[in-house]
Amino acid sequence: MTSDQSGVVNSTRSPVTSRATPLRSNAPFRSLLIGQGLFDIGISMRLAAQSWVVFELTSSQLWVGAAAGVRAAPVLLFAIFAGVLADRLPRRRLLVMSGMWMAALVAITAVITVTDVAQPWHYLAIAFGIGFGATLYGTSFFALVATLVPRQQLSRANGLVAFVATSGEMFGGLIAGLIIAGSSAGVVFFIVSAGYLGGAALMLRIKEPARARSTGRAPLTEIKEGLGFARRTQPLPWLILLVMLQNLFAVAIFPLMPVYAEDVLDVGATGFGLMNGALGAGLLVSAVIVAVFGTYHRGSMVMLATGIVWDTCMVGFGFSRSFPLSLTLLFFMGLSGVIWVNAALTMFQTSATEEMRGRVMSLYVLSMDMFPMGWLIGGTLAAWLGNEQALIISALGGTPIMLLGLLLSPALRRA
């Protein structure tokens, strides 16, 4: 370990990487994972209930989309500063604080829903506020995972995180629907708020290893340092570009799935549910594979292979007029999706020094949260050019850029 001129202690190793504790025996990571599971299922339940009540109030899909998409705005405004906080302060403390903030906002949502005083803009404002908490939470969470888990086990740990997240996405909406049918959306919000508080309480059990933290400098200075580190440290510039482009241009299929279910394949709402189920099943299976086996150490090659599968299946889906074939293609897209994200996430985590990890992971969170904008781009391209053409253009934002990165960056090829 050395100290630079600014007095910040530098170390390229996590404080716990020397102790290769098996994941099943890693109590801090286990508490973190269980707490994250409560947050993941709560996110899905809250979005489902929010969509329901906003549509009941407005009868407008635009309002529903706005209430879901507004959460991306705080990421653009706050992500880099959240990274500074994650490098300055104990990350466990930030997880607890952001979890309690989100629990309070969801509780307010519950109260205004059950008392029938809510207006549509209330849900947008609350979702915006939750977005700030989620940005700080996500940045601190991914940085803390890399602190608690030895480097050689990060891929499997991220696979477990993906399994928990995918399970939450698959079952959260179902649970919310059953509660709404049997009671009301307000009850869903109360349950989610309690779940967030439970997740925050579990975070209190985590003993975070001691680490050097930067203090005494202006936040803007630390932001510039983080951006400078990311610019100089290969292959981070290419990783940021690839993850951002993937979420902007390679997700056009999502706004088009209802169109294909209703107008192209003529399978209606039931078929649309099966399409989402096929994609979710693929995501879940790939999360299990990664959690059990990890991924190949050449993350860039994993990203290339799975990116090719995603893009090929996406274009194939665009031209398919067979419902069984479309379901198969969606399953393989899901199968490749978690593995691609896992490889990218692990490369972000291992490219950062411990004192820069929060700021680096804030760039990962920022890049991943281009996803809502990707929906908008995909829908716009389809409206202007047609469904198949939109999916072809979407694929061009994935594999060709990855190949270009591998051609131009030796560090990316080695990663």
Domains of the chain: 24-206 (1.20.1250.20), 220-415 (1.20.1250.20)
pLDDT given at position 2: 32
Give the burial class of 125: count Cβ atoms within 10 A of its Cβ; 0-12 exposed, 13-18 middle, 19 or more buried: middle
**What is the DSSP code (8-state) at residue 250?**
T
Query: How far apart are alpha carbons 251 and 249 in whole angstroms?
Result: 6
Give the burial class of 228: count Cβ atoms within 10 A of its Cβ; 0-12 exposed, 13-18 middle, 19 or more buried: exposed
Phi-psi region of 386 (alpha: psi -120 to 50; beta: other; left: phi over 0): left
How far from the centroid of its chain's Cα atoms is residue 14's Cα? Answer: 23
Instruction: For the chain of 415 residues, list the mean pLDDT of each consecutive stretch of 10.
Output: 34 41 76 92 88 83 74 85 91 94 96 92 92 93 90 87 85 84 90 95 86 71 90 93 89 82 84 83 89 79 94 94 95 92 90 88 89 77 87 88 91 86
pTM of the model: 0.80
pLDDT given at position 16: 40
pLDDT given at position 67: 78
